Protein backbone atom coordinates (compact mmCIF):
# COMPACT_ATOMS: atom_id res chain seq x y z
CA UNK A 1 0.00 0.00 0.00
CA UNK A 2 1.19 3.50 -0.82
CA UNK A 3 -0.52 6.90 -0.94
CA UNK A 4 0.08 10.66 -0.82
CA UNK A 5 -2.22 13.01 1.10
CA UNK A 6 -2.48 16.63 2.21
CA UNK A 7 -1.02 17.04 5.72
CA UNK A 8 -3.84 19.18 7.20
CA UNK A 9 -6.61 17.01 5.74
CA UNK A 10 -4.97 13.81 7.02
CA UNK A 11 -4.22 15.24 10.48
CA UNK A 12 -7.83 16.42 10.92
CA UNK A 13 -9.19 13.04 9.79
CA UNK A 14 -6.99 11.05 12.19
CA UNK A 15 -7.80 13.42 15.05
CA UNK A 16 -11.53 12.96 14.40
CA UNK A 17 -11.51 9.15 14.44
CA UNK A 18 -9.36 8.79 17.58
CA UNK A 19 -11.39 11.26 19.69
CA UNK A 20 -13.91 8.64 20.75
CA UNK A 21 -11.35 5.98 21.67
CA UNK A 22 -10.85 5.51 25.42
CA UNK A 23 -7.48 6.63 26.83
CA UNK A 24 -6.80 3.10 28.08
CA UNK A 25 -8.16 0.22 26.07
CA UNK A 26 -8.14 -3.31 27.55
CA UNK A 27 -7.60 -4.73 24.05
CA UNK A 28 -4.51 -3.23 22.33
CA UNK A 29 -5.94 -3.96 18.89
CA UNK A 30 -8.77 -1.48 19.56
CA UNK A 31 -6.25 1.36 19.94
CA UNK A 32 -5.66 1.15 16.20
CA UNK A 33 -6.94 3.25 13.33
CA UNK A 34 -7.94 1.32 10.22
CA UNK A 35 -6.81 3.04 7.01
CA UNK A 36 -8.12 1.73 3.70
CA UNK A 37 -6.65 3.14 0.49
CA UNK A 38 -8.59 2.63 -2.74
CA UNK A 39 -9.20 4.33 -6.06
CA UNK A 40 -11.83 6.55 -4.43
CA UNK A 41 -9.43 7.85 -1.75
CA UNK A 42 -8.79 7.09 1.90
CA UNK A 43 -11.18 5.74 4.53
CA UNK A 44 -10.15 6.06 8.20
CA UNK A 45 -12.04 4.35 11.02
CA UNK A 46 -11.78 3.53 14.71
CA UNK A 47 -14.02 1.24 16.79
CA UNK A 48 -14.02 -0.02 20.40
CA UNK A 49 -17.20 -2.19 20.25
CA UNK A 50 -19.24 0.68 21.78
CA UNK A 51 -18.53 3.69 19.57
CA UNK A 52 -17.09 4.06 16.10
CA UNK A 53 -15.95 6.96 13.96
CA UNK A 54 -15.38 6.87 10.21
CA UNK A 55 -14.41 9.46 7.61
CA UNK A 56 -13.29 9.54 3.98
CA UNK A 57 -10.79 11.97 2.46
CA UNK A 58 -9.17 12.57 -0.92
CA UNK A 59 -5.70 11.13 -1.54
CA UNK A 60 -3.47 10.03 -4.38
CA UNK A 61 -3.33 6.25 -4.07
CA UNK A 62 -0.37 4.61 -5.81
CA UNK A 63 -1.05 1.13 -4.43
CA UNK A 64 -4.35 0.23 -2.73
CA UNK A 65 -4.41 -1.69 0.54
CA UNK A 66 -5.39 -1.68 4.20
CA UNK A 67 -3.27 -0.97 7.30
CA UNK A 68 -3.94 -0.78 11.03
CA UNK A 69 -1.74 1.56 13.06
CA UNK A 70 -1.77 2.91 16.64
CA UNK A 71 -4.27 5.77 16.51
CA UNK A 72 -3.15 8.24 19.16
CA UNK A 73 0.50 7.96 18.16
CA UNK A 74 -0.40 8.58 14.52
CA UNK A 75 -2.58 11.55 15.53
CA UNK A 76 0.25 13.07 17.61
CA UNK A 77 2.71 12.64 14.74
CA UNK A 78 0.35 14.01 12.08
CA UNK A 79 -0.41 17.14 14.11
CA UNK A 80 3.30 18.03 14.37
CA UNK A 81 4.51 17.31 10.86
CA UNK A 82 6.04 20.07 8.71
CA UNK A 83 3.88 21.81 6.11
CA UNK A 84 4.39 19.37 3.25
CA UNK A 85 2.49 16.48 1.63
CA UNK A 86 2.50 13.17 3.53
CA UNK A 87 3.51 9.87 1.95
CA UNK A 88 2.63 6.60 3.71
CA UNK A 89 3.63 3.16 2.48
CA UNK A 90 4.27 -0.31 3.81
CA UNK A 91 7.87 -1.51 3.85
CA UNK A 92 9.17 -4.99 3.11
CA UNK A 93 8.85 -6.03 6.76
CA UNK A 94 5.18 -5.01 6.91
CA UNK A 95 6.00 -1.86 8.90
CA UNK A 96 4.57 1.53 7.99
CA UNK A 97 6.82 4.34 6.77
CA UNK A 98 5.50 7.91 6.98
CA UNK A 99 7.45 10.64 5.17
CA UNK A 100 6.73 14.37 5.26
CA UNK A 101 9.37 16.79 4.03
CA UNK A 102 12.60 15.69 5.73
CA UNK A 103 10.70 13.98 8.61
CA UNK A 104 10.49 10.20 8.47
CA UNK A 105 8.71 7.86 10.90
CA UNK A 106 8.64 4.06 10.90
CA UNK A 107 5.66 2.61 12.79
CA UNK A 108 4.68 -0.95 13.62
CA UNK A 109 1.55 -2.21 11.89
CA UNK A 110 -1.15 -4.13 13.74
CA UNK A 111 -2.87 -7.28 12.37
CA UNK A 112 -5.80 -6.08 10.24
CA UNK A 113 -7.49 -9.49 10.31
CA UNK A 114 -7.95 -9.27 14.09
CA UNK A 115 -9.76 -5.91 13.93
CA UNK A 116 -13.56 -6.06 14.42
CA UNK A 117 -15.93 -5.10 11.61
CA UNK A 118 -17.01 -1.46 11.74
CA UNK A 119 -20.81 -1.23 12.26
CA UNK A 120 -22.83 -0.55 9.12
CA UNK A 121 -25.92 1.60 9.54
CA UNK A 122 -29.05 0.75 7.61
CA UNK A 123 -32.04 2.01 9.55
CA UNK A 124 -34.61 4.80 9.74
CA UNK A 125 -33.06 8.26 9.57
CA UNK A 126 -34.09 11.86 10.15
CA UNK A 127 -32.40 15.27 10.07
CA UNK A 128 -31.62 17.84 12.78
CA UNK A 129 -30.00 21.28 12.36
CA UNK A 130 -26.39 20.80 13.51
CA UNK A 131 -26.14 24.04 15.48
CA UNK A 132 -29.40 23.41 17.36
CA UNK A 133 -28.36 19.83 18.09
CA UNK A 134 -24.92 20.84 19.38
CA UNK A 135 -26.46 23.52 21.61
CA UNK A 136 -29.06 21.08 22.94
CA UNK A 137 -26.37 18.52 23.80
CA UNK A 138 -24.36 21.16 25.67
CA UNK A 139 -27.50 22.19 27.59
CA UNK A 140 -28.38 18.65 28.67
CA UNK A 141 -25.42 16.23 28.72
CA UNK A 142 -23.80 17.73 31.84
CA UNK A 143 -26.81 16.62 33.92
CA UNK A 144 -26.12 12.94 33.18
CA UNK A 145 -24.57 10.88 35.97
CA UNK A 146 -20.85 10.15 35.95
CA UNK A 147 -21.31 7.12 38.18
CA UNK A 148 -21.18 3.85 36.22
CA UNK A 149 -23.05 2.01 39.02
CA UNK A 150 -26.32 2.97 37.33
CA UNK A 151 -25.54 2.85 33.58
CA UNK A 152 -28.93 4.18 32.42
CA UNK A 153 -28.25 7.48 34.20
CA UNK A 154 -24.94 7.98 32.37
CA UNK A 155 -26.82 8.45 29.10
CA UNK A 156 -28.91 11.10 27.39
CA UNK A 157 -32.35 9.93 26.31
CA UNK A 158 -33.19 10.99 22.74
CA UNK A 159 -36.88 10.84 21.95
CA UNK A 160 -38.42 11.49 18.53
CA UNK A 161 -42.08 12.38 18.48
CA UNK A 162 -43.66 13.91 15.40
CA UNK A 163 -41.54 16.91 14.37
CA UNK A 164 -39.73 17.23 17.69
CA UNK A 165 -36.57 15.68 19.10
CA UNK A 166 -36.13 15.92 22.86
CA UNK A 167 -32.97 15.31 24.87
CA UNK A 168 -33.26 14.42 28.57
CA UNK A 169 -30.60 13.65 31.20
CA UNK A 170 -30.68 13.15 34.97
CA UNK A 171 -28.40 12.08 37.81
CA UNK A 172 -31.27 11.83 40.35
CA UNK A 173 -30.59 15.30 41.80
CA UNK A 174 -31.50 17.27 38.68
CA UNK A 175 -33.13 16.85 35.29
CA UNK A 176 -32.30 18.75 32.09
CA UNK A 177 -34.64 18.76 29.08
CA UNK A 178 -34.30 20.42 25.67
CA UNK A 179 -36.48 20.13 22.58
CA UNK A 180 -35.44 20.95 19.00
CA UNK A 181 -37.05 20.63 15.53
CA UNK A 182 -36.80 17.25 13.80
CA UNK A 183 -37.24 16.43 10.12
CA UNK A 184 -38.59 12.90 10.37
CA UNK A 185 -37.35 11.72 6.96
CA UNK A 186 -37.69 7.92 7.00
CA UNK A 187 -38.29 7.64 10.75
CA UNK A 188 -41.85 6.49 11.27
CA UNK A 189 -43.73 9.33 12.95
CA UNK A 190 -46.58 7.26 14.30
CA UNK A 191 -48.12 7.46 17.74
CA UNK A 192 -45.24 5.59 19.36
CA UNK A 193 -42.13 7.67 19.95
CA UNK A 194 -38.68 6.45 18.88
CA UNK A 195 -36.21 6.50 21.77
CA UNK A 196 -32.46 5.97 22.09
CA UNK A 197 -30.35 6.11 25.26
CA UNK A 198 -26.93 7.36 24.14
CA UNK A 199 -23.81 7.56 26.38
CA UNK A 200 -23.38 11.22 27.37
CA UNK A 201 -19.64 11.17 26.65
CA UNK A 202 -20.15 10.01 23.06
CA UNK A 203 -22.99 12.48 22.47
CA UNK A 204 -20.86 15.36 23.80
CA UNK A 205 -18.14 14.55 21.25
CA UNK A 206 -20.77 14.38 18.50
CA UNK A 207 -21.96 17.87 19.48
CA UNK A 208 -18.45 19.33 19.39
CA UNK A 209 -17.52 17.62 16.11
CA UNK A 210 -20.65 18.41 14.11
CA UNK A 211 -21.56 21.83 15.57
CA UNK A 212 -20.98 23.71 12.29
CA UNK A 213 -22.00 21.03 9.82
CA UNK A 214 -25.33 22.26 8.46
CA UNK A 215 -27.63 19.28 9.03
CA UNK A 216 -26.91 16.00 10.82
CA UNK A 217 -28.52 12.76 9.72
CA UNK A 218 -29.52 10.65 12.72
CA UNK A 219 -30.21 6.97 12.02
CA UNK A 220 -31.51 4.23 14.31
CA UNK A 221 -30.30 0.73 13.48
CA UNK A 222 -29.76 -2.79 14.82
CA UNK A 223 -31.80 -4.79 17.27
CA UNK A 224 -31.58 -6.69 20.55
CA UNK A 225 -28.27 -6.16 22.34
CA UNK A 226 -26.68 -4.42 19.35
CA UNK A 227 -28.97 -1.44 18.87
CA UNK A 228 -26.96 1.50 17.58
CA UNK A 229 -27.49 5.11 16.63
CA UNK A 230 -25.50 6.84 13.89
CA UNK A 231 -24.77 10.54 13.33
CA UNK A 232 -23.62 11.52 9.83
CA UNK A 233 -22.69 14.85 8.34
CA UNK A 234 -20.64 15.36 5.20
CA UNK A 235 -17.90 12.74 5.06
CA UNK A 236 -17.99 11.89 8.78
CA UNK A 237 -20.03 9.25 10.65
CA UNK A 238 -20.13 8.42 14.37
CA UNK A 239 -22.00 5.39 15.69
CA UNK A 240 -22.75 4.49 19.29
CA UNK A 241 -24.09 1.38 20.96
CA UNK A 242 -27.21 2.28 22.93
CA UNK A 243 -27.38 1.81 26.69
CA UNK A 244 -29.77 -1.00 27.60
CA UNK A 245 -32.32 -0.42 30.33
CA UNK A 246 -35.32 1.72 31.15
CA UNK A 247 -34.69 5.44 31.54
CA UNK A 248 -36.64 6.79 34.53
CA UNK A 249 -39.89 8.61 33.63
CA UNK A 250 -38.55 12.02 34.66
CA UNK A 251 -40.73 14.07 32.29
CA UNK A 252 -43.65 13.78 34.68
CA UNK A 253 -41.60 15.58 37.34
CA UNK A 254 -41.81 18.84 35.42
CA UNK A 255 -44.66 20.89 36.86
CA UNK A 256 -47.00 23.17 35.04
CA UNK A 257 -45.82 26.75 35.40
CA UNK A 258 -46.96 28.22 38.71
CA UNK A 259 -47.46 31.80 39.85
CA UNK A 260 -44.62 31.56 42.39
CA UNK A 261 -41.36 32.53 40.71
CA UNK A 262 -38.43 34.96 40.59
CA UNK A 263 -36.82 36.53 37.53
CA UNK A 264 -33.13 37.38 37.81
CA UNK A 265 -30.30 38.50 35.54
CA UNK A 266 -28.54 35.25 34.61
CA UNK A 267 -24.97 36.57 34.49
CA UNK A 268 -25.32 38.65 37.69
CA UNK A 269 -26.62 35.68 39.68
CA UNK A 270 -23.94 33.34 38.30
CA UNK A 271 -21.13 35.74 39.21
CA UNK A 272 -22.49 36.22 42.72
CA UNK A 273 -22.89 32.47 43.27
CA UNK A 274 -19.28 31.88 42.17
CA UNK A 275 -18.00 34.45 44.66
CA UNK A 276 -20.09 33.47 47.67
CA UNK A 277 -19.52 29.73 47.14
CA UNK A 278 -15.75 30.20 47.55
CA UNK A 279 -16.05 29.80 51.33
CA UNK A 280 -18.27 26.70 51.18
CA UNK A 281 -17.18 23.11 51.65
CA UNK A 282 -17.44 21.24 48.35
CA UNK A 283 -20.69 19.40 49.13
CA UNK A 284 -22.39 22.10 51.23
CA UNK A 285 -25.50 23.86 49.91
CA UNK A 286 -25.72 27.62 49.45
CA UNK A 287 -28.58 29.41 51.24
CA UNK A 288 -30.80 31.53 48.98
CA UNK A 289 -33.49 33.90 50.23
CA UNK A 290 -35.87 35.33 47.63
CA UNK A 291 -37.75 38.48 48.72
CA UNK A 292 -39.40 41.48 47.09
CA UNK A 293 -36.03 43.29 47.33
CA UNK A 294 -34.10 40.59 45.44
CA UNK A 295 -32.23 37.37 46.13
CA UNK A 296 -29.61 37.16 48.88
CA UNK A 297 -26.99 34.42 49.26
CA UNK A 298 -25.42 33.38 52.54
CA UNK A 299 -22.53 30.92 52.88
CA UNK A 300 -20.75 29.75 56.02
CA UNK A 301 -17.66 27.65 55.55
CA UNK A 302 -14.81 26.24 57.58
CA UNK A 303 -12.23 28.46 59.33
CA UNK A 304 -15.08 30.79 60.36
CA UNK A 305 -15.23 32.10 56.78
CA UNK A 306 -18.53 33.63 55.73
CA UNK A 307 -19.84 35.41 52.65
CA UNK A 308 -23.07 37.17 51.73
CA UNK A 309 -24.21 38.94 48.58
CA UNK A 310 -27.46 40.18 47.07
CA UNK A 311 -28.65 40.44 43.48
CA UNK A 312 -31.69 42.25 42.09
CA UNK A 313 -34.64 39.99 41.33
CA UNK A 314 -38.36 40.33 40.68
CA UNK A 315 -40.41 38.01 42.89
CA UNK A 316 -43.98 36.96 42.19
CA UNK A 317 -45.53 35.22 45.19
CA UNK A 318 -44.37 34.66 48.75
CA UNK A 319 -40.83 34.98 50.09
CA UNK A 320 -38.89 31.71 50.10
CA UNK A 321 -35.63 30.41 51.59
CA UNK A 322 -33.93 27.26 50.30
CA UNK A 323 -30.55 25.58 49.88
CA UNK A 324 -29.17 24.75 46.45
CA UNK A 325 -26.02 23.02 45.26
CA UNK A 326 -24.06 25.99 43.85
CA UNK A 327 -22.29 23.98 41.13
CA UNK A 328 -25.55 22.45 39.90
CA UNK A 329 -27.15 25.90 39.84
CA UNK A 330 -24.19 27.40 37.94
CA UNK A 331 -24.39 24.66 35.31
CA UNK A 332 -28.09 25.40 34.88
CA UNK A 333 -27.49 29.14 34.54
CA UNK A 334 -24.79 28.45 31.95
CA UNK A 335 -27.26 26.32 29.98
CA UNK A 336 -30.12 28.85 30.06
CA UNK A 337 -28.60 30.89 27.18
CA UNK A 338 -30.78 33.87 28.02
CA UNK A 339 -30.16 37.29 29.59
CA UNK A 340 -32.74 36.59 32.29
CA UNK A 341 -33.63 33.34 34.01
CA UNK A 342 -36.90 32.38 35.66
CA UNK A 343 -36.66 30.35 38.86
CA UNK A 344 -40.03 28.77 39.58
CA UNK A 345 -40.81 27.39 43.05
CA UNK A 346 -42.95 24.30 42.87
CA UNK A 347 -45.10 22.88 45.66
CA UNK A 348 -45.17 19.28 46.80
CA UNK A 349 -48.23 17.45 48.04
CA UNK A 350 -46.16 16.30 51.02
CA UNK A 351 -45.46 19.30 53.25
CA UNK A 352 -42.38 17.59 54.72
CA UNK A 353 -40.78 17.03 51.33
CA UNK A 354 -38.60 19.63 49.62
CA UNK A 355 -40.02 20.72 46.28
CA UNK A 356 -37.69 21.11 43.29
CA UNK A 357 -37.10 24.45 41.60
CA UNK A 358 -37.65 24.83 37.85
CA UNK A 359 -35.13 26.96 35.96
CA UNK A 360 -36.01 28.20 32.47
CA UNK A 361 -35.03 31.08 30.17
CA UNK A 362 -37.20 34.16 30.73
CA UNK A 363 -38.46 34.85 27.22
CA UNK A 364 -41.67 36.45 26.08
CA UNK A 365 -44.25 34.63 24.03
CA UNK A 366 -42.22 31.56 22.99
CA UNK A 367 -42.71 28.12 24.54
CA UNK A 368 -39.75 26.98 26.61
CA UNK A 369 -37.51 24.52 24.80
CA UNK A 370 -35.07 24.23 27.75
CA UNK A 371 -36.10 23.23 31.27
CA UNK A 372 -33.94 22.33 34.26
CA UNK A 373 -35.30 20.85 37.48
CA UNK A 374 -33.08 21.03 40.57
CA UNK A 375 -33.75 19.35 43.91
CA UNK A 376 -33.01 21.67 46.87
CA UNK A 377 -30.72 20.58 49.71
CA UNK A 378 -31.77 20.37 53.33
CA UNK A 379 -30.59 23.41 55.28
CA UNK A 380 -29.35 22.47 58.72
CA UNK A 381 -29.68 25.94 60.21
- Quote the Cα angle for 247-26-72, to 5°: 100
The enclosing H or E element of 88 equals: strand 86-90
Pairing of strands 228-233, 236-241: antiparallel
Alpha-carbon Rg for the chain in angstroms:
25
Average pLDDT, the chain: 91
Range 76-85 average pLDDT? 96
- Is the per-residue pLDDT at 381 higher than 50? no
The pTM assigned to this predicted structure is: 0.91
Range 274-285 average pLDDT? 90
More confident residue, 121 or 371: 371
- Is the per-residue pLDDT at 379 higher than 80? no
Give pLDDT tens digits for 11-44. 999 999 999 887 777 789 999 999 999 999 999 9
Give the lowest-confidence range in 18-32, 36-50, 134-148, 254-268. Answer: 18-32
Task: Report the DSSP beta bridge partners of residue 61.
Answer: 3
CA atoms of 249 and 226, how far apart (whole Å): 23
What is the share, in percent, of the chain residues with pLDDT greater than 70? 94
- Is the per-residue pLDDT at 380 higher than 60? no
Give pLDDT tens digits for 325-366. 999 999 999 999 999 999 999 876 655 567 899 999 998 766
pLDDT at 111: 94
How many other C-beta atoms lie within 10 A of the C-beta of residue 217?
16
Q: Which of 165, 252, 158, 224 is nearest to 197 (CA)?
A: 158
CA atoms of 171 and 154, how far apart (whole Å): 8
Amino acid sequence: MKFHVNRDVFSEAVSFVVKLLPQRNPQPILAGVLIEASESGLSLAAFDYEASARTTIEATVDAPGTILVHGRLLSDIASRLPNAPIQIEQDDENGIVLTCGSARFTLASMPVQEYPAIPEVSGDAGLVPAEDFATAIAQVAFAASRDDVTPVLTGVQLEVSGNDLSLVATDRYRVALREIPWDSGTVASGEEATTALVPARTLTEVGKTFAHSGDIQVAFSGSGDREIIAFTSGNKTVTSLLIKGNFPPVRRLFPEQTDHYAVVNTADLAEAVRRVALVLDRSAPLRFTFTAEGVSMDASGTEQARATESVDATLTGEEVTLGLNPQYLLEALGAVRSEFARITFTSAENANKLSPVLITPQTSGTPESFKYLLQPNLLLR
